[in-house]
Chain A
Amino acid sequence: MKRLAILALTCAATVAASLAALPAFAQDSLAKIKEKGVLSVGVKNDYKPWGFLEPSGKIVGLEIDLAQAVADKIGVKLEMLPVIAANRMEFLKQGRIDMVIATMGDTADRRKIIGMVEPNYYAGATNVLAPKSVGLKSWTDLKGRKVCAVQGAYYNRRVTQMYAPELVVFPSVPDALNALQGNNCAAFLFDDTLIVSTLSGGDAKWAGYEMPLVSEDPQLWAIGIRLEDMTGPFGTLVKEMSIDWHKSGKLLELETKWGIKQSPYLIETNKKLKAAS
């Protein structure tokens, strides 16, 4: 009994210690970034062509160009930290990175945790990548079937609750795609932007695959910064840059540069902002 009590106490102490360790930060991130001389950004390295690894091992892509633009504007070096959906917000909160630009969907729940920079720089929706032989026709066909997905994606919960597939969730996109190619799942649940660019990439191994469903649940992507930065100089700077990217057509140019079809969201926002000025 005594031993049990000690065990319980040790557990309680561990819990209390780790819950008490709330991070605290100085307020002005911009000054801190300038002082360090480095802007740390959380990016994707498995999401072609937004953020991916070149054969040389360098991370490149549309989002990397945006991150570089912010670093250039501040006049500091860019440091990139590859993140995944499951850890990026925690890294930002803990101060390991100053900014997240990693195909992150802008949701109400996430806005409670971190700041989302507006105007949103991109928009995607949910769809699946599936072998043509599976013959999916509608979302309800997914019921009870194995569907590969990636950990931490916002649509996992919604799709599970609405269509009841048996979700098999992997830590990263390559793992999930490998599993799909090994026929471990009937489909791969993901963002339609990535699926379109995968299919149009001309890679022979995707020849037998399709995006069979109607995209659902359109979602804006946002650059994430810490909540306290939203009203600070760093937040203001990123926000201004985001407006400028839309207005000047830089985002549309970048789409062309990285071989992505011009998205309706960008064309529309570009028109709207131009008309407003």
Chain B
Amino acid sequence: MIAAFFERLNETQGLNFSVFYDAFDASRFLTGLWTTSYICVVSILASLALGLAGVWVAGGGSRLGRLVVRGYVQFFRNTPPLVQLSFFYFAVGGLLPRVSDGFGGLSPPVSGTGWAIIAFSLFAGAFNVEIFRAGIEAVPATTVEAAESLGYTRLQLYIHVVLPLAFRICLPALNNNLVNLVKTTTLAYAIGVPELLYAASQIWSESFNVREMMNVLLVTYVLLVGVLVLVMGRWEKAMRIPGYTT
């Protein structure tokens, strides 16, 4: 039904939405959608973990730890993600030892998709460290002192008092950063990772339907980001304490 409609649209109007009727193009686009979603989910989780770990170390007693986190944040926040990606894929990837590729030959141990996930996680993680720091610093010092006087250890203090409050404060900023991360995944195109932009450009360079594919791509990203925003919005609402934050 849908395929027939789009095939007719192509014949009568010259609007070639090949992804909806050409099985080969459709499978490429779905692979792209899957790869993008996969990179997004893994990078989001890894960047959150990095952010939490970073802010934990930065707030700790170790001078060296603080310096390392500072260096990490400055480096990944102040260089373009595309440069980081190329650096990892072409420079770092070339230095790593080779592993068997299953055909008797040797190939690098990390694939393009792997490097994309690593680069994007580190990039977004650097911002997350700062976002969490802002949230933690906004927790009233008196609350922290009260908890300390009750005998909480540092870990307990974080888990039961600081983080629950800090999380609520930094959710809007976190939201922003994660939406950005989803959009940044298109850069993986530059190292041949079969994500959405890559799939779309493959299709339009063969079927010459740039305008149609651009629109499909835009709508797909609106939907992808929409899902993320919806989830984050729900979470924000569920965590709201009346009278604490807006």
* Alpha-carbon gap, A109 to B204, bound state (A): 12
Q: B91-125: contact bitstring with A at CB < 8 Å (1 yes, 0 no)? A: 00110001001010111100010000000000000
Count A-B contacts at CB 8 Å: 86
- Asked if B198 is at the interface (CB within 8 A of a chain A CB), the reply is yes
Residue picked from A7, A156, A171, most chain B C-beta under 10 Å? A171
Distance between A115 CB and nearest chain B CB, rounded to angstroms: 14
- Asked if A15 is at the interface (CB within 8 A of a chain B CB), the reply is yes
Q: B174-203: contact bitstring with A at CB < 8 Å (1 yes, 0 no)? A: 000000000000000111100000100110
Residues of A within 8 A of B201 (CB): 86, 151-152
Distance between A10 CB and nearest chain B CB, rounded to angstroms: 9
On whether A183 and B98 interact (CB within 8 A), knowing A7-B226, A18-B211, A145-B103, the answer reads: yes
On whether A15 and B94 interact (CB within 8 A), knowing A89-B208, A133-B105, A146-B107, the answer reads: no
Residues of B within 8 A of A90 (CB): 208, 210
* Alpha-carbon gap, A170 to B219, bound state (A): 24
* Alpha-carbon gap, A157 to B105, bound state (A): 25
Per the 8 Å Cβ criterion, residues 62-104 of A in contact with B are 85-86, 89-90
Per the 8 Å Cβ criterion, residues 128-161 of A in contact with B are 133-134, 144-146, 148, 151-152, 154, 156-157, 161
* Alpha-carbon gap, A15 to B105, bound state (A): 47
Distance between B203 CB and nearest chain A CB, rounded to angstroms: 10
Per the 8 Å Cβ criterion, residues 1-32 of A in contact with B are 7, 11, 14-15, 18-19
Report the count of interface residues on A (CB-CB < 8 A): 38
Distance between B17 CB and nearest chain A CB, rounded to angstroms: 11
* Alpha-carbon gap, A148 to B207, bound state (A): 21
Stretch at the interface among A174-182, A213-221, A237-245, A265-273: A174-182
Residue picked from B101, B103, B206, B218, most chain A C-beta under 10 Å? B206
Cross-chain contact A152 with B90 (CB below 8 angstroms): no
Q: A156-173: contact bitstring with B at CB < 8 Å (1 yes, 0 no)? A: 110001000000111100
- Asked if B141 is at the interface (CB within 8 A of a chain A CB), the reply is no
Cross-chain contact B112 with A171 (CB below 8 angstroms): no
Residues of A within 8 A of B15 (CB): 19
Residue picked from A151, A182, A184, most chain B C-beta under 10 Å? A184
- Tell me the nearest residue of chain B to A133, going by C-beta: B105
* Alpha-carbon gap, A210 to B94, bound state (A): 21
On whether A14 and B218 interact (CB within 8 A), knowing A168-B192, A183-B98, the answer reads: yes
- Asked if B156 is at the interface (CB within 8 A of a chain A CB), the reply is no
Cross-chain contact A182 with B204 (CB below 8 angstroms): no
Residues of A within 8 A of B93 (CB): 182, 184
Cross-chain contact B108 with A184 (CB below 8 angstroms): yes
On whether A11 and B219 interact (CB within 8 A), knowing A151-B201, A182-B94, A183-B108, the answer reads: yes
* Alpha-carbon gap, A80 to B46, bound state (A): 45
Quick one: which of B94, B112, B208, B214 contacts A113, CB cutoff 8 A? B208
On whether A11 and B222 interact (CB within 8 A), knowing A18-B215, A184-B112, the answer reads: yes
Cross-chain contact A161 with B24 (CB below 8 angstroms): yes
On whether A157 and B211 interact (CB within 8 A), knowing A7-B226, A11-B219, the answer reads: no
Cross-chain contact A86 with B204 (CB below 8 angstroms): yes
Quick one: which of A15, A157, A176 contacts B24, CB cutoff 8 A? A157
- Asked if A110 is at the interface (CB within 8 A of a chain B CB), the reply is yes
Residues of A within 8 A of B204 (CB): 86
Cross-chain contact A186 with B192 (CB below 8 angstroms): no
Quick one: which of B89, B90, B205 contacts A86, CB cutoff 8 A? B205
Cross-chain contact B202 with A151 (CB below 8 angstroms): yes
Quick one: which of A14, A86, A182, A186 contacts B108, CB cutoff 8 A? A182
Residues of A within 8 A of B90 (CB): 178-179, 182
Residues of B within 8 A of A179 (CB): 89-90, 191-192
Cross-chain contact B107 with A183 (CB below 8 angstroms): yes
Distance between B90 CB and nearest chain A CB, rounded to angstroms: 6
* Alpha-carbon gap, A157 to B191, bound state (A): 19
Residues of A within 8 A of B103 (CB): 144-145, 186
Quick one: which of B108, B190, B205 contacts A152, CB cutoff 8 A? B205
- Tell me the nearest residue of chain B to A131, going by C-beta: B105
* Alpha-carbon gap, A186 to B103, bound state (A): 10
11 more A-B contacts (CB under 8 A) besides A110-B208, A168-B112? A86-B201, A89-B208, A90-B208, A145-B101, A152-B205, A156-B206, A169-B198, A175-B190, A179-B89, A182-B93, A186-B103
A-B contacts, 8 listed (Cβ < 8 Å): A15-B215, A19-B215, A109-B207, A168-B112, A183-B107, A186-B101, A186-B103, A186-B105
**Lowest 5 A-B CB distances belong to which pairs?**
A152-B205, A168-B192, A86-B205, A182-B94, A15-B215
